[in-house]
Amino acid sequence: MAYTLSTDLAGLYEEFLAAERNRVSEQGYKTLEATTRALMHYLEANELNPLELGIGEAMAYMAELGEATSESGRAYATGTIHNRLKAARKFFGYLVQTERRKTNPFEEVEYPRMEQYLSRNVLTEAQMGRLLGDVGRFDESEDMRSRQRSYRVHVLSEFLYATGLRIDEASRVREKDVDLEQRLVHVKKGKGGLPRTAFLNGYAAQVLERYVRVGRAAVLRRGMDEERLFCACTRELMALLMRELRSRCTALELPVITSHGFRHSLGTHLLRSGCDMRHIQVILGHEALSTTQIYTKVDKEDLKKSLDAFHPRRWNPRSPQGPQGGDDERC
């Protein structure tokens, strides 16, 4: 729903976003813009002055979020509530930094507990091999435009699966940010606006070297962003990749993954291969090891599946006795 902010709130809103513009990623800025505007709307609707707001009003805002519903009538997801509260904490922190307030009331607000879960946006090693192999046959496309599109997706897919970068991070990488000799990718502004370094495996470095040397010029067309390595902004790059992933995963009878599926799959596959947890943390750019540890749930699920598949007392629904294997001995 569109609405107009009062002059005072509009001024604070625009000033705050201008201050945060270069501190967050492109996608992060869009989220911050929307969540802060929702906060401004709440303040205006309840006639609250942000310079005088106290802990009671901050708690009331959290309670409001807990009872709110989306346009579809569903309650806000915990992640949505977290984003709204983070925006509020950041906005009021800005008011403290600019000496408009002495304290930040949202520092006292505890976020609702958010359950960690393992994304289903993951392919097995064999499935990923099939997908990347299929994408790598870009020269089999019928016409030149299709071959160019498939080639870009091929290079991008190998790049994402090697580095574990988010699509927003990958879209902003420039050619000069890539050190092919050292197999490093310098990310100026990752999640949270922080810089970090990503790493290329040997195969992806070779694919990218050929792309930089001859392939990129072959696919570059008028209107594309020449400064970016993959010649497109996040929205355009995501649309290109998702269209191709849907088509190819469906044709190969694989689960359809998103761009983030390369990142989730990389973390999962590294863990299964015995990679050190702290190395995975650095490769994926997680600030906290606890974020990386969610991938350990994969092994637990695998163990349970193996137990069910290979334990001698596995269930046979066609047998009147029920379980298979061995006598039903009592201890």
Task: Please give the positions annotated as active site.
Answer: 166, 191, 260, 263, 286, 295
- Write out the DSSP string of 271-300: HHTT--HHHHHHHHT-SSHHHHGGGHHHHH
User: What is the rounded distance in angstroms from the CA atom of residue 134 to the CA atom of residue 146?
Assistant: 14
User: What is the rounded distance in angstroms from the CA atom of residue 234 to the CA atom of residue 240?
Assistant: 10
Q: What are 7-15's contacts with CB under 8 Å, separation 24+?
A: 9/40, 9/43, 9/44, 9/50, 10/40, 12/40, 12/50, 12/95, 13/37, 13/40
- CB proximity list for 193: less than 8 A, separation 6 or greater: 22, 23, 24, 25, 28
Among 125, 150, 326, smallest CA distance to 251 is for 150
